[in-house]
Every structure is written in C-alpha cells, then in structure tokens.
Amino acid sequence: MNKFSWYEAKSVEDALEQVNSTVSDELYQSSEKATIFKSGGIDVFDWVKEGLLKPQMIINIRNIPGLDKISYDPKKGLRIGSNVTLAEIASDQEIKNQYLALHQAVNHAATPQLRNVSTLGGNIAQRNRCWYFRSVDHNCFRKGGDRCFARHSKTGENENHAILDNGSCVSVHASSIATALMAFNASVVIANAEGKQKTVPMDDFFVSAGEDMAMENILQAKEIITEILLPPPSKNTKSSYIKQVARESYDWSLADVAVVMEVSGNACKSASIVLGAAAPVPYRSVEAQQAIENKTINSENATAAAKAAMAKARPLSKNDYKVPLFVSTITQTILEIS
C-alpha cells in the first residue's frame, strides 16, 4: 500500500470537513491529494493494496458515535446506522422476524470474519467485482479507459457478468444485500458538508452504467451515508431471498433474488421483486412484479413471472446459463412466500 496519513473522525461534520474525493472518482481519474472515507475498510484497502487507489489520507469514519445503532418501531419501520456491521444485522432478532429476506441476504453475504468488520454503508457503496475493473493491467471504461474487456465474445471472461442492462459496462453490482434492501423499498439517508440531509430511495441511489460510467451510486465527495431506512411491514407482508453460488461455502452471487409481497391468503396483492448479479446495479423486475400481482401464488404463475423477468435478457458469450438459473431462482423465491 502507498503511504497515507490517517484521520480519526469524531463526527459526521468533522469527517465531511476533511474529505475531498471518493473511491469512484479516484478510480476514474486519480487526483494528487485525495482524502477518502473508510469504515470497515474491506473494499477501500482492497483497492489500495492493488495500487489502483492511492489516497493521501484515509478518513476513518468507523468510530463516529451514533452511526452504529439498529432501531425498530412497528409504525416507523427499521433504521440501520451506516456503521452497523453485517454480523450485527445477522444476529438481530427483530430483523429476522420482520425482514426475513434481509436477514437471509446478510447471512449469505461474505464470510463470518468479514461480516464482523463490514458495515452496511460500505457494503452498499462498494464497487463491483469485475476482474478487469479490479486489475491494474486492464484500463476499462470504469477506470476512464476505452474498452470493456469482459464483453469481447472470444477473449472476454464474462461468466459472472450481467445479462440485463449490459449495453455499456457488463459488471454486476457486488452487494447482494442491496438486492434485499431494494425489495423492501429501503431508502438511504445521506448527509452533506452543508449540513443538509436527504433521503433517497434505493432505486434512485444506484446509478446505471449507461447514466454514468464513473460511478455505481449517487454519492459525491462531500457526502456520507448515515442511515438506511426500511418502511414497516404490514401483517400481510412476506419476504424471501435466494442466492445461487458456485461453491458450498461463501461466494459471490451468480444470481440472487429478493421478493417482498403483500399477500391476501394465497394471492399476491403487490410484489417487489429485485434481482442481484443480473445487471450493473440491483435490478427491479417490473415485468415479474406485474406478472404475479393479483394472481394466486402457485408454480405456474411464479414461472410465468420468472420468464417475464428474463424477457429482456441479453446474455454475453459465456453467461447464458444465467437465464435459466434466474428463471428457476425467481420461481423458487416466489414460491417460498406461499
């Protein structure tokens, strides 16, 4: 790692005063005296170790008081501080009871060791895991380069890559927890250096590659995530989550699906269906939602919804397996609800 200094931030204001860049800005076009945030540090140290990120100063936001709380109110919903670790979410009984899909997604993310350190804010703000993007030797679009190495039909190693919205960058978002958060219609609370705060729905937090190649979320240099909010579930809310991986132990997602439904008996009244590892950002399948709404939750309708979700899929040279994998995973996840 390059030499960097360390700033131990004591408050959100203090941290925002010191920061002048983001990991995304630096990866796209590096600056001389970048000061960037780190909390758990798993993604930041990864980039610094690769030599792709060379900060002058790392601002440690991990110990800012007040960002490490989980609170649940049946009327107001769930608030998770950005510094809450994945392990703390996984062991929270109220989250398991009220937000099962989130509990399952967190439990299947990363390793026990990483869950003890990784924070929720860092998890949703981490950059994608495309091996070309992470390689010093491949100057891809995401790093200000002139091509996508993964897309190449002969040489592109694209088996883990996107099948939807893959017109520009073909990476898939690294956070499988975001899949569940988006299905619950979560919002991200962001504070800025002017002392203002905004609450952004998860759907608007992520930035598609077609919109801006340099970033995967809307965070700017002088902004910080303080909380993630989830609306309260009703007594008819049900949720489920399934993640497909290549190995029995922990692994990155090949296809993960979160479903949150309002049910009436065995019928779906409204559905929120989000796919992970399908597109450069977590992908809400409006097609699947419309296909299952006001229908009985059974195998036939679930399969129809799953197929509708894949109608626009455009697999690359080595990942066409993902289409049937998503069809079966979406079907299975919907059927878990009943």
Among 71, 111, 155, 294, binds other proteins (CB under 8 A): 111
* Residue 72, strand partner residues: 78
Q: Nearer to other proteins by C-beta: 90 or 288? A: 90
Q: Token pair for residue 119?
A: 């924070």
Contacting residues for 211 by C-beta, under 8 A, at least 6 apart? none
Interacting span for other proteins (CB under 8 A) from 10-18, 175-183, 231-239, 302-310: 10-18
293 binds other proteins (CB under 8 A): no
At its nearest, how many Å lie between other proteins and the CB of residue 137?
Answer: 17
3-state class (DSSP) for residue 193: coil
106 binds other proteins (CB under 8 A): no
1 binds other proteins (CB under 8 A): yes
At its nearest, how many Å lie between other proteins and the CB of residue 46?
Answer: 6
Burial track 277-310 (b if 16+ CB lie within 10 A, e otherwise): bbbbbbbbbebbbebbbebebeeebbbbbbbbbb
Q: Nearer to other proteins by C-beta: 111 or 197? A: 111
87 binds other proteins (CB under 8 A): yes
What part of residues 16-75 is at the interface with other proteins (CB under 8 A)? 41-42, 45-46, 48-49, 57-58, 60, 62-63
Q: Nearer to other proteins by C-beta: 8 or 73? A: 8
Instruction: State the Cα torsion 255-261-264-269 to the nearest 10°.
Output: -100
H helices within 22-63, ranges in order?
A: 23-28, 42-50
3-state class (DSSP) for residue 5: strand
* Residue 36, strand partner residues: 58
Residues at the contact surface with other proteins, assessed by CB under 8 A? 1-11, 14, 41-42, 45-46, 48-49, 57-58, 60, 62-63, 87, 110-114, 116-117, 248-250
